[in-house]
Amino acid sequence: MPLYGRALPDFPWDSLAPAKTRAAAHPGGIVDLSVGTPVDPTPAVAQDALRAAADAPGYPLTVGTLALREAVVAWFARRRGAPGLSTDGVLPTLGSKEMVALLPAFLGLGEGDVVLHPRAAYPTYDVGARLAGATPVAVDADPATWPDRARLVWLNSPGNPDGHVLSADQLAAVVAWARERGAVVASDECYAELPWAQPWATGGVPSLLDPRVSGGDHGGLLVLYSLSKQSNLAGYRAAFVAGDPAIVKPLTEVRKHSGMIMPAPVQAAMAAVLADDAHVAAQRERYRARREALLAAVRGAGLELDPASEAGLYLWVRAAGRPEVGSWDLVDALAHRGLLVAPGTFYGGAGEGYVRIALTATDERIATAVRRLRDGGPLASGRAALPGGRRPAELGLRRRPPV
């Protein structure tokens, strides 16, 4: 079936347009916390490396330079507790989203094949399965409850949108389950350098390639990683996939045939930032300060953080003690305060009642959001506390179906 005949969902963020218009009308302008787009400067180490490699007249290698692949291998050993990765198991990609969207097709999945992904999840896991003609199935973290016929298992730890972290034991259980059934496990770990709670803050977020998880064998395992978050390289489209060389090799061949090649200057910038931990630590502290300020403000406004939200770039919050308040209720109420957030239903039915609040705004915009939340009083301590002191029906705040 041609792609245009497949049932793909509408692009979720398009449905935020009315709320965006409402938030933009607020005195002082909109504070857009709906998308995790980095706003801080790209680190000098990346810019310097990009300039130094700007004279690049020849075609770059699809598989990436040896310097880049060695930098990825060294980074996994140093930062992710995963030594033993082979340079043959590394492939640069044009951001991580394209690999999320295309991996099921690259693996040859199609009609009758099942792709598993978390219940609250980045929508592209679902879309990628549909593009390949496979069936996406949302599952919880316990593989004992999963359907046996899955061919691909997506993990996302720390999770987007919820910030949940899978322990090494949980990851190992998934690996054992998948190997018994011949399924590939792909772990999207792009928020791994942003842990906030213990034990992850000091011990690190476990990787799928950690020997405690893999048993020292990367067979059937892939990790996707992006430098957009930790290094503010979203505009560079700088990412990679790493793991089983037996899977990475055919992925490389497909990309050779289709011309999906990372520009040589970007490869040089990636190698440079992967060798530098100082800029990552500085960026983490920026996000920590913004998170602490926003978290205190949303709690004061009557919202509560998911108790398992322990890492990542977002606050995953709902109305405290108010299960009847839907995701779109909160989106609309916050838009009246000039704040744009993403409804939890963008991430599946399990997200109903939640909103996702990104930490990616300037310090000035975060301070503005904090002030509006603080000065406006509680959002959900009572119906009369919604914007303007009116009831939701008067404001047109109605629960909308999941996107």
DSSP string, 342-358: EEGGGG-GGGTTEEEEE
Alpha carbons 170 and 282: distance in angstroms, whole number: 30
SS3 content of the chain, % helix, strand, coil (to 5): 45, 15, 40
Nearest to 183 by CA among 116, 268, 250: 116
Length of the chain: 403
The model's pTM: 0.89
For the chain, domains (ranges, CATH) are 3-41+280-395 (3.90.1150.10), 44-276 (3.40.640.10)
Strand intervals (E) in 21-167: 31-32, 90-94, 114-118, 135-139, 150-156
Q: What CA–CA distances, in Å, run from 327 to 112, 126, 304?
A: 33, 20, 13
CA distances from 203 to 83, 113, 141, 329 (A): 16, 37, 21, 38
* β-strand pairing of 238-243 with 90-94: antiparallel
Q: What is the pLDDT along the chain (403 residues), one digit of tens a residue?
A: 455 445 666 677 788 999 999 999 999 999 999 988 999 999 999 999 999 999 999 999 999 999 999 999 999 999 999 999 999 999 999 999 999 999 999 999 999 999 999 999 999 999 999 999 999 999 999 999 999 899 999 999 999 999 999 999 999 999 999 999 999 999 999 999 999 999 999 999 999 999 999 999 999 999 999 999 999 999 999 999 999 999 999 999 999 998 899 999 999 999 999 999 999 999 999 999 999 999 999 999 999 999 999 999 999 999 999 999 999 999 999 999 999 999 999 999 999 999 999 999 999 999 999 999 999 888 854 333 444 333 333 333 333 333 3
What is the Cα–Cα distance from 243 to 161, expressed in whole angstroms?
25
Q: Which of 6, 1, 239, 221 is nearest to 127 (CA)?
A: 6
Neighbour count for residue 282 (Cβ, 10 Å): 11
